[in-house]
Structure 1
């Protein structure tokens, strides 16, 4: 049965890169996002080849397992096509692409995924990431070594562990089948969106219930407002709903939408133009798949970063505690330069410090017992002494005592 619902696809170069290496597809039953990698010449070729190979299986299937098999075979064929292309054009060696594909079969969604593009499901007001990123930092998150928030800003977040490339004719795909229902909103996107717009803002946009095209436009605008350092591709798929159903003409966006095919010039590192002055990074790959020995170096580097982070926290805590202790000691020392006159059981006493206490800690001590008995004082003077009289300096305290002795003693 042909999918009953509506969809939209949109792709943008972003604000930094000089070409769009993403490709997107929204058809009758099939929806795809592919994020190419491999520099100026390779990424757009890889994503375009993958989308066009998958486009050939956009038709109804009799069962979800049949669709799952077709997706797996099509993506594997795309990997072989990448290898054949590199044999003809060696300058493209090392190119690859992520692939996140969604096939609708009756009441089921069939998913195939490799890389770090993402598929989300928005259902009953909750946004859930359905696919798992095949990245180095995701492995760190899964092992509990860093938090998801730390992963968003990790310096190695673009290191892919799995990708559809020209070096592997049998890509390691994630494929699975899950039920879907009317009212579900599916979001497929490259990391140009998910790496800039966080899940709460994405969820809020999807919750507005606008048509897929307007929803995709709003998500793209948020990515651009956030700087859009990478290409941005968004595909929205609504199951059922009140918006117009699929028109019969698939939507192809990004590099795959070039009607004349993707131009494949030899890569020219550091190329700039008057449109993109001093933007060498615009032609550099947004992702790369490292060799095994490089991953070992990354793991060791991450261990060093974790150790350094712990050392930094400990050093910072020690510094704060040291400053706090120093401040407390300095404050205490200052209090010991002050004096006041008070009572100690039966006599008038000069105290060093201040009248306040901090819990069980006294900030004053007896400095000098005057031997003036409280019983020899008038009621008014004795009450004042018992309430303490601030003096400031030792000389001031002694003058207060002399005054008491001269006027009150032996009245």
Structure 2
């Protein structure tokens, strides 16, 4: 199995409020996390950094995850704790008032992957059935699409596209989505912030991920595309490729 994390502040923003990484637990199992901070100058950085730091610390202390139920329970417990951490930090630091972050994370084993998310950072799977989005955006625009008020095409250019209906750290309690999928040989898991998914369409993502390029080249190509198409936002991604023949560990 190979994994790579890559982030870029884009061509317009002065700071990178995204954060993330691929981390190993005591049994050398991976967790992949992308967080897209919000709340203005510095506060977004704080929210995403706190989230990644806390989840990384907890994951590195975790024993082997054997079942999907264990993975889902881990997310339920840790998301509750990190949400409270971010929320309390915002309450206690005036400059961080109102900050929050999206999060999309995957616990990845050799038989399944459990995905948790809040907000509009996304997770996709590329397998024998093709390329598809696993997560569903917690956004105003997606609610409008679901209720039939606008089309999916309209959503792409909607002026309120960035308005979230859920974010981590903005309330004492947060709702989140968790689902477990089968993760098999030759499958690819792809996580990204909206700085990528708003710019690079699914056809281009799929074409890049299934190319013969190295995992590093795939990641760089996708970042370059998002910048080529404007790069107005920070851009962050993680690619996880499942191939038992790979002797290499994570590419960080």
Distance 1:67 1:26 in 2: 16
Distance 2:118 2:91 in 1: 23
SS of equivalent to 1:85: helix
Distance 1:7 1:158 in 2: 28
Stretches of structure 2 that go unaligned for 5 or more consecutive residues are: 25-29
Partner of 2:217 in structure 1? 214
Q: Contact 1:102–1:112 (CA<8 Å) still a contact in 2?
A: yes
Distance 1:245 1:177 in 2: 25
Q: Cα RMSD (Å) of the superposition? A: 1.5
Cα shift at 1:86: 2.1
> Which of 147, 150, 155 is equivalent to 1:151?
155
SS of equivalent to 1:165: coil
CA shift digits 1:317-376 (9 cap, x unpaired): xxxxxxxxxxxxxxxxxxxxxxxxxxxxxxxxxxxxxxxxxxxxxxxxxxxxxxxxxxxx
Distance 2:9 2:86 in 1: 23
Partner of 1:90 in structure 2? 94
The 5-angstrom pairing of residues 322-361 of structure 1 reads none
Higher CA-based Rg: 1
Length-normalised TM-score, structure 2: 0.92
Partner of 1:264 in structure 2? none
Partner of 2:52 in structure 1? 51
Q: Contact 1:53–1:75 (CA<8 Å) still a contact in 2?
A: no
Q: Contact 2:124–2:191 (CA<8 Å) still a contact in 1?
A: yes
Partner of 1:102 in structure 2? 106
Distance 2:239 2:104 in 1: 13
Q: Contact 2:145–2:152 (CA<8 Å) still a contact in 1?
A: yes
Distance 1:209 1:71 in 2: 34
Partner of 2:144 in structure 1? 140
The 5-angstrom pairing of residues 171-186 of structure 1 reads 171-186=174-189
**Residue correspondences, number:** 244
The 5-angstrom pairing of residues 174-253 of structure 1 reads 174-240=177-243, 242-247=245-250, 251=252
Distance 2:153 2:140 in 1: 15
Q: Contact 2:85–2:169 (CA<8 Å) still a contact in 1?
A: no
Partner of 1:31 in structure 2? 32
CA shift digits 1:166-190 (9 cap, x unpaired): 4x22210001111111100111000
Partner of 1:12 in structure 2? 8
Partner of 1:121 in structure 2? 125
CA shift digits 1:286-307 (9 cap, x unpaired): xxxxxxxxxxxxxxxxxxxxxx
Q: Contact 1:57–1:70 (CA<8 Å) still a contact in 2?
A: no
Q: Contact 2:125–2:131 (CA<8 Å) still a contact in 1?
A: yes
